[in-house]
Amino acid sequence: MGSLGCTFESGFCNWKKPIGATDEWRRHSGPSPSRLALPSVDHTYQNVSGYYLYAKTSIKSEGSSIIVESPVFYSDSAFCLSFWYNGNGKPIGPFIVYDYFNVIYNISGNSESVWYPVKLDISSGFNKIKFVGVKGKYSNGDIALDDIAAVPGRCSKPMIVTAFIKI
């Protein structure tokens, strides 16, 4: 479980692309290189010198996935997985989190320039967490991820953003 934590300031930690994958999440600081230039800062330091991961979904065909995953690990007790998510584009595809093949989180929509916290309760046993960015209908969009953490026990207050509504 301790191997999940990562701020991406010094690299990918234990996160990697799946074997055989041709596209990958990219580590970046400052504004994303897409036309949208969002997010403009990382979540950790809230400035342009901090790093985050992003999936540039515009280089893929609609419905294609970009995956970053943990190694397989065993946890003898339940734990709280937390991370910060930022999705920008018109419209971006879904951002999905799996534990092995089970979907444990799924969201679509444009979060604008806001980082949103997510906390998910994960069961004990063997686990493998996958973060998946999916290409939406149009060619501009980024999905960003930062500050992954795992702490023993259930989440004190699970935080799950379920939708973004444009007003």
Higher pLDDT, 147 or 39: 147
pLDDT(127) > 60: yes
- pTM (2 decimals)? 0.86
CA distances from 125 to 1, 90, 99, 133 (A): 11, 38, 11, 26
Residue with tokens 């991820």: 145
- pLDDT value of position 1: 64
Ranges 43-47, 59-63, 110-114: which has the least confidence: 59-63
Task: Write the single-letter amino acid at 11.
Answer: G
pLDDT(77) > 60: yes
Residue 105 burial (C-beta neighbours within 10 Å; 0-12, 13-18, 19+) = buried
Please tell me the chain's helix, strand, coil percentages from 3-state DSSP, rounded to the nearest 5: 5, 40, 55
What are the tens digits of pLDDT across the range 4-31? 999 999 999 999 988 877 777 888 887 6
**Residue 13: CB atoms within 10 Å:** 15
pLDDT(142) > 80: no
Domains of the chain: 2-152 (2.60.120.200)
Q: 3 — phi, psi (to 5°)?
A: -75, -5
Residues pairing with 106 in the sheet: 96
Mean pLDDT of the chain: 81
pLDDT classification of 39: cutoffs 50, 70, 90: confident
- pLDDT value of position 91: 63
- pLDDT value of position 167: 34
Nearest to 66 by CA among 7, 103, 25, 38: 25
